[in-house]
Amino acid sequence: MNQDYIQPNNWSIIEEGFNTENVKSSESLFSIGNGAMGQRANFEEQYSGPTFQGSYIAGVYYPDKTRVGWWKNGYPEYFAKVLNAPSWIGINVFVNGEALDLFTCKKVENFRRELNMKEGWLSRSFLATLQNNIEIEVKAKRFLSLDIDEVGAIQYQITPKNSNAEITFQPYLDSGITNEDSNWDDKFWDTKNVSHEKNQAFIEAKTMKTNFHTCTFMESSVFINGEAVSNQPTTNSQVNYVSFSYKQAVSKGETYAIHKFGGYTVDRNHDKAKLVSAAKAILEKTSKLGFNGLLEMQKHAWANIWNMSDITINGDVKAQQGIRFNIFQLNQTYLGKDSTLNIGPKGFTGEKYGGSTYWDTEAYCIPFYMATKDQNVARSLLEYRYNHLQKAIENAEKLGFKNGAALYPMVTMNGEECHNEWEITFEEIHRNGAIAFAIFNYYRYTGDYSYIPEKGLEVLIGIARFWHQRATFSTDKNKYVILGVTGPNEYENNVNNNFYTNYIAKWCINYTLENIDRIESDYASDYTRIMNKAKLSKTELQQWKKVADNMYFPYSEKHNVYLQQDGFLDKELITVADLDKSQRPINQKWSWDRILRSPYIKQADTLQGFYFFEDQFTTEELERHFDFYEPFTVHESSLSPCVHSIQAAKLDRMEQAYTFYLRTSRLDLDDYNHEVEEGLHITSMAGTWMSIVEGFGGMRVKNNSLSFEPKIPKQWEGYSFKVNFRNQILKVNVCQKDTKFELEGDADLDIFVKDKKVRISPNNLVTI
Amino acid sequence: MNQDYIQPNNWSIIEEGFNTENVKSSESLFSIGNGAMGQRANFEEQYSGPTFQGSYIAGVYYPDKTRVGWWKNGYPEYFAKVLNAPSWIGINVFVNGEALDLFTCKKVENFRRELNMKEGWLSRSFLATLQNNIEIEVKAKRFLSLDIDEVGAIQYQITPKNSNAEITFQPYLDSGITNEDSNWDDKFWDTKNVSHEKNQAFIEAKTMKTNFHTCTFMESSVFINGEAVSNQPTTNSQVNYVSFSYKQAVSKGETYAIHKFGGYTVDRNHDKAKLVSAAKAILEKTSKLGFNGLLEMQKHAWANIWNMSDITINGDVKAQQGIRFNIFQLNQTYLGKDSTLNIGPKGFTGEKYGGSTYWDTEAYCIPFYMATKDQNVARSLLEYRYNHLQKAIENAEKLGFKNGAALYPMVTMNGEECHNEWEITFEEIHRNGAIAFAIFNYYRYTGDYSYIPEKGLEVLIGIARFWHQRATFSTDKNKYVILGVTGPNEYENNVNNNFYTNYIAKWCINYTLENIDRIESDYASDYTRIMNKAKLSKTELQQWKKVADNMYFPYSEKHNVYLQQDGFLDKELITVADLDKSQRPINQKWSWDRILRSPYIKQADTLQGFYFFEDQFTTEELERHFDFYEPFTVHESSLSPCVHSIQAAKLDRMEQAYTFYLRTSRLDLDDYNHEVEEGLHITSMAGTWMSIVEGFGGMRVKNNSLSFEPKIPKQWEGYSFKVNFRNQILKVNVCQKDTKFELEGDADLDIFVKDKKVRISPNNLVTI
């Protein structure tokens, strides 16, 4: 654990006391979002200390020209990048002409920041003494509305404490913003028009190249002791900027407040010529509701989300806070309303990892969304890849594949590859497998087969074709091999016969063949349509099968385990426990070659295969592989602890499972990787959810039924979670002594608890 | 072969006819240099078409901030880069006020460019019709003096052909220059002072960061029909620029000429405060000599070089031109006068490959310099590495090695690493082996053991320590392995147990141990000094020996060959002959992953080991390995054909040897790799020399004697070369029928011809 300034609390993230060194970390941790936009917890007023400014609009990106040291054929020329969007949260504050700036004022006391996850708002309060010796109390609150997801609201209150003061609020919009991670300092935004009318202002700007049209807007009004002040503000309008000034003489002890509504209208949702009028319509609604009215709606909306997705943990505040923080951030990032959107590894909390979508979505996020939302949300995530199939085929063509083989990009915003490290971009091809697995997983969980003949099979065919072509026949081994890959463990590059990759390749081909058979017999017209479109012949299917049937898997007779890749046993097999602590984390201490020739594993690799395909291995096999690989695992990926937590729980190693759980759930809150200031690890948060539901709860879907193997860490009194299983809500409550099941819905549900069938009837508590 | 516009000629490179598409290629091919500076063959007068401007001063570089897509620990933060230096060759020409510009004038006829290699000058002549319809004849000649290596000279003559004309010569200096390959568009030069006095001008400029102080200077004078014109020019002096203007009414048929001397004084050779006066002293000398006097000296200087290093080939003009071009360029690049300098892969002909020194120097260039220069030149090249030993130790420390282990950089200018691709920078570690091999090779050839106790052993110890630490013990193989390397064949990255690397590692350790023993017994005081300095214990030596004695080498029983690396036989072993021609060159057609998983070899890898350590393998073994690997070799490195030519000759495959010879000797002249416009492949030119001397001539040094196995391609009538062997000059003349040996020197020399001893007496032709 590297930091410890977040106060333990069941429902809130709280920071007390002002420390300039925490500002960038807190800007990440206190980020807010509503699925359509998000922003780091930057201060409204001016701040001249170290800060990382960020506001982001879902789906608004820019293709930044690729920057590399050494170009390789096949690299994408552009890299779609999450854009820092025009800022609407700014409110400059002047007290007797002096700008309020926490970095330069004489004293900051009683600083408190709270992210209230239950109700979905961020607040901040402090007492500041300015250079002019005026002491003011500030209380600010802001949120991004879930109900009207193009708008947010800020309430900012100042009370002079030791004298009268002339206070000016200067709310503004600013489109003169940049990305910190710009490759070539390109200008990303082109401001088309700045306008204002009474207390409303608008900046219309479009992104360069991608031509996303946006209108950033604001409306503000001021109050003395809660009473509206009707003075018209003065206005300052520039090329990329517009502000209002509200100057007011405020007596000592009086409270001067501003309410500011702001947000974005974008041409994904509106006619690009009518973005200003769309903004006005939104402001008309929010004006009527007022800050408090909109806040009440926010509380209800979050109550609804929590009602479905909350996980409670009794007797362990830090664990409780961790899981709620994870669930809260996932819901801030993606709500499944728009199938052109996806879940970026940093959500709306930072710029890093440029493109939005990784294999994280399919491997880690889909189970969370399937179980806590309507199943259409997961289907929407699958369709995202279906919609990118043609681009995945083009991507594979760039790398020399043909005939409709599809290689999904490692990182993408619009279906095009956004990454440029050859060992990842070209070689971390197992990502294709996760995309196929998600289709299988969706059907397994929801029972909705319709997706496969409608869309999924075409994706599966593209992927199967890729694996068929990517495998090569080794006359030496008399088997098909897959050479030159990077597995999930990115601390190995360009290896041969990565077990996980070979396994999922074989599985993808077999699963595709299985579905072709089923669709041929049950969905004749879909079958004809798809086979014609894909120009797929029986001969080709036979060739696929030959590859799948003769796939090579490296195995050690001595250790009785599959080898992560060819040659793994040539390494110096010193466990992490025996590695000098001063050498950790190795990704910060060692050069890349040293990492590569070490046995150290960044995240589950062979074990990721055992996680996905659990049914295909015995528990003894799992145990053997866990015992072989986990001791070499450094868990330096945010996606590592969750899989290990689930497997440790399955192996009844509850202490270890608990440790992994804490690590995944509090990764950002405790800043394990010393990098939270760059943004949060959103996708791994879904892994945290899996650690509880699949790990401790032991939930699986087998033969169309839910099954459970409930376990509980000794540190906890109890925990509960809910899952939406095929439109019925099952609540599971695990205590040290027993497990309770409760069902919302219309029909009885047969579940399995420790392999025994149990019938749960609606609204009838069952204790086991 | 990709271009064919260079006229075959025994002594000159000639281009006839003006084609704007050839300008950049010709700028490379006609480059001139004198070891201390060099320049691309840019036109003196203005040229608005596509051009790549370049003037370079030996040893003047800039640490450009590293640019990568994804940073890896251990990358150098800066990258020492060859700098484009202030230009002194420019002479703007105006004819009745219109600028002469071959890209825009109405007509260009009789264009001819010649690089006269025998005498060391570049000339250009043409007839141009300007937009104003004036026809002028231009003759220009320039060279960089070998004798006074800080200066060059230009003679530029114009004759109006169809009318009188007012002609202006505007010679200038310009320090407002940039590098095309700048990473961040940094400003590299800081101009400190621009001054002029009569017909001389000076720009003092220093490089940013490295603070190399330079003075770029010129002096000019004009002539009508060979008679000096005494008018004072008008002067235009700016921040980064100074020019003179000589305006003259010239009658039809008269010749107006300018002579310009120019060059650089640098603070490596002079007090930085006295660069201008040093320049004036040089100009005083050259003024006295005049253009023609300096040119005469140039011809003598080149005659001396050719006298020692010429190779003649009779009956094959293209082959003759090729080898002379190679020898000429090597001598233009490095003359061994300064041990802080080295041989850059592009010499003074382009910017690419930033840093100056690669393993090319030790692996390919040293034999040429040993045999065609005084042995101190080769010793100077060895000392270059000795002087960088401490930096090599620091470089190894950055990668986690300790205790004095040294890893020489892949690319360097001042001993620091200048490369930033992890698979090369961190993994192409075999370079260390070549540096040790060069010490062995130097002693083998010159018999000068003194270098080893004085300096060489310390380098060998650092290198042996590196290999000892870099090898790891595989309990699985019960052998030492070297994991995660890139061999000489850069079309494989991060492989395990590359045969060449493992072999040279073992050899380095054994050779170091052997020398420690010899120095212990024969050079007691050196021994004590070195052992104390290196803190080397007998225990450590035993550990080294254990690694060397138990090194693993991948071997195929089936094919009876050493494998290039573990897993090589898993590849689809389709030979280059069976590869569709449309796929070649693969480095331009295929993505990197596809290249890596293919069997294709960029340059000799296993065979490079057979080349270095020929004595340790039988000819049958060589043949087997040649037959196994050459069919997979695409020779897409300039360093590939020469080694294969030598080995093919040894195996009596003269057709193949001849084909490889042509490819190496005319690589740039015929632009095999479609990239000559970026600059020439200087270091591979030394490989061309080896192809003849070691390949066709079969020259080796065995037990302190030269031995030969002369062979001759059927296309040739005869060929001859000279070698300086231990201060005696042996001339070897091979014809289809016989071989003649002739010796300059004082003592008889016993040589071996086809394993038979032959005594050669001075000045006594021996025919065999």
pLDDT in tens, B476-495: 999 999 999 999 999 999 99
Q: Residues 519 to 578 of A: which have CB under 8 A from any B CB?
A: 558, 566-567, 569-573
Backbone angles phi, psi at A546, to 5 degrees: -60, -40
Query: Distance of CA B409 to CAs B210, B343, B385, B425, B461, Å?
Result: 19, 15, 10, 7, 16
CA–CA gap between residue B76 and residue A387 (Å, rounded): 42
Q: What is the pLDDT of residues A160-194, one digit of tens each?
A: 999 999 999 999 999 988 887 777 777 889 999 99
Mutate to test the interface with B, among A591, A628, A636 (most CBs of B within 10 A): A591
Helix (H, G, I), strand (E, B) or coil at A363: helix
Question: Is A183 among the domain residues?
Answer: yes
Query: Quick check: B481 and A67 CB within 8 A?
Result: no
Q: How many other CB atoms sit within 10 Å of the CB of residue A320? A: 21
Contacts of B597 in chain A (CB under 8 A): 472, 483-484
Q: What is the pLDDT of residues A249-260, one digit of tens each?
A: 999 999 999 999
Q: What is the pLDDT of residues A473-527, one digit of tens each?
A: 999 999 999 999 999 999 999 999 999 999 999 999 999 999 999 999 999 999 9
CA distance A487 to chain B (A): 14
Which of B281, B309, B337 corresponds to the end of one domain? Answer: B309
CATH of the domain at B149: 2.70.98.40
Question: Is B418 among the domain residues?
Answer: no
Comparing B83 with A565, which gets the higher pLDDT? A565
Contacts of B592 in chain A (CB under 8 A): 72-74, 422, 426
Query: Quick check: A494 and B494 CB within 8 A?
Result: yes
A66 interfaces chain B, CB cutoff of 8 Å: yes
Mutate to test the interface with A, among B570, B574, B594, B595 (most CBs of A within 10 A): B570
The residue with tokens 């809500």 is: A729
Of the candidates A733, A683, A764, the residue with the CA atom closest to the CA atom of residue A310: A733
CA–CA gap between residue A551 and residue A544 (Å, rounded): 11
Of the candidates A37, A61, A341, A66, the residue with the CA atom closest to the CA atom of residue A211: A61
Tokens read off for A709:
């193997």
Determine contact, residues A14/A6, Cβ cutoff 8 Å.
yes
pLDDT value at B28 more than 80: yes
Q: What is the pLDDT of residues A329-370, one digit of tens each?
A: 999 999 988 888 999 888 999 987 666 899 999 999 999 999
Q: How many other CB atoms sit within 10 Å of the CB of residue A257? A: 22
Nearest to B67 among A69, A566, A594 (CB): A69
CA distance A597 to chain B (A): 6
CA distance B481 to chain A (A): 7
Contacts of A484 in chain B (CB under 8 A): 593, 596-597
Question: Is B395 among the domain residues?
Answer: no
The one catalytic residue in B114, B490, B694, B742 is: B490
Q: What is the pLDDT of residues B406-415, one digit of tens each?
A: 999 999 988 9
Question: Is A151 among the domain residues?
Answer: yes
Helix ranges, B373-456 (H): 375-387, 389-398, 422-425, 431-446, 451
For B503-522, the DSSP string reads: HHHHHHHHHHHHHHHHHHHH
The one catalytic residue in A490, A492, A709, A742 is: A490
Burial class (CB in 10 A: 0-12, 13-18, 19+), B496: buried
CA distance B569 to chain A (A): 6
Query: Distance of CA A208 to CAs A64, A121, A190, A214, Å?
Result: 10, 33, 6, 12
State the average pLDDT over residues B371-395. Answer: 96
Contacts of A553 in chain B (CB under 8 A): none
Tokens read off for A753:
């608890």
Contacts of A427 in chain B (CB under 8 A): 593
The answer, as to whether pTM is greater than 0.90, is yes
CA distance A162 to chain B (A): 52
A77 interfaces chain B, CB cutoff of 8 Å: no
State the average pLDDT over residues A457-484. Answer: 98
Of the candidates B128, B136, B135, B134, the residue with the CA atom closest to the CA atom of residue B104: B128
Query: Quick check: A597 and B472 CB within 8 A?
Result: yes
Contacts of A570 in chain B (CB under 8 A): 472, 474, 476-477, 481, 483, 496-497, 566
Contacts of B427 in chain A (CB under 8 A): 593
CA distance A403 to chain B (A): 17
Query: Quick check: B587 and A400 CB within 8 A?
Result: no
CATH of the domain at B729: 2.60.420.10
Q: How many CB pairs under 8 A join A and B?
A: 136
CA distance A74 to chain B (A): 5
Query: Quick check: A588 and B68 CB within 8 A?
Result: no
Nearest to A68 among B68, B422, B483 (CB): B68
Question: Is A594 among the domain residues?
Answer: no
CA–CA gap between residue A34 and residue A143 (Å, rounded): 9
Which of B276, B309, B342 corresponds to the end of one domain? Answer: B309
B359 known member of a binding site = yes
Any residues with CB less than 8 A from the CB of A614 and at least 6 apart, and which?
A622, A700
Q: Residues 476 to 495 of A: which have CB under 8 A from any B CB?
A: 476-477, 481, 483-484, 493-494
State the average pLDDT over residues B254-282. Answer: 97
pLDDT at residue number B207: 92
Nearest to A494 among B74, B477, B493 (CB): B493
Query: Quick check: B69 and A420 CB within 8 A?
Result: yes
Contacts of A399 in chain B (CB under 8 A): 591, 593-594
pLDDT at residue number A1: 46
- Could you tell me how many residues make up chain A? 768
Nearest to A421 among B69, B400, B474 (CB): B69
Bridge partners, residue A81, by sequence:
A62
Chain A residue with the nearest C-alpha to that of B79: A69
Name the residue type at position B152: G
Which of B285, B309, B333 corresponds to the end of one domain? Answer: B309
ipTM value for the complex: 0.91
State the average pLDDT over residues A279-302. Answer: 97
Query: Quick check: A472 and B597 CB within 8 A?
Result: yes
CA–CA gap between residue A147 and residue A160 (Å, rounded): 35
A587 interfaces chain B, CB cutoff of 8 Å: yes
Catalytic residue list contains A490: yes
Q: Residues 370 to 399 of A: which have CB under 8 A from any B CB?
A: 398-399
Overall domain count for chain A = 1
Query: Quick check: A483 and B420 CB within 8 A?
Result: no
Q: Residue B751 belongs to what domain range?
A: 697-768
pLDDT value at B2 more than 90: no
A603 known member of a binding site = yes
Query: Quick check: A73 and B571 CB within 8 A?
Result: no
Question: Is A120 among the domain residues?
Answer: yes
Query: Quick check: A569 and B427 CB within 8 A?
Result: no
Question: Is B113 among the domain residues?
Answer: yes
Tokens read off for B693:
């001397």
B603 known member of a binding site = yes
Q: What is the pLDDT of residues A576-591, one digit of tens each?
A: 999 999 999 999 999 9
Strand B756-760 with B749-753, pairing: antiparallel
Chain B residue with the nearest C-alpha to that of A586: B73
Query: Quick check: A593 and B427 CB within 8 A?
Result: yes
Query: Quick check: B590 and A73 CB within 8 A?
Result: yes
pLDDT at residue number B188: 87
Q: How confident is the model at residue A63 (pLDDT cuts 50, 70, 90)?
A: confident
Q: Residues 404 to 423 of A: which have CB under 8 A from any B CB?
A: 420-422
B403 interfaces chain A, CB cutoff of 8 Å: no
State the average pLDDT over residues A612-625. Answer: 98
Question: Is A330 among the domain residues?
Answer: no
Q: What is the pLDDT of residues B628-678, one digit of tens each?
A: 999 999 999 888 999 999 999 999 999 999 999 998 999 999 998 788 999
Phi-psi category of B571—alpha, beta or left, where left has phi over 0 and alpha has psi -120 to 50? beta
> Mean pLDDT score of chain B, rounded to an integer?
95
Of the candidates A739, A259, A477, the residue with the CA atom closest to the CA atom of residue B568: A477
Helix (H, G, I), strand (E, B) or coil at B708: strand
CA distance A70 to chain B (A): 7
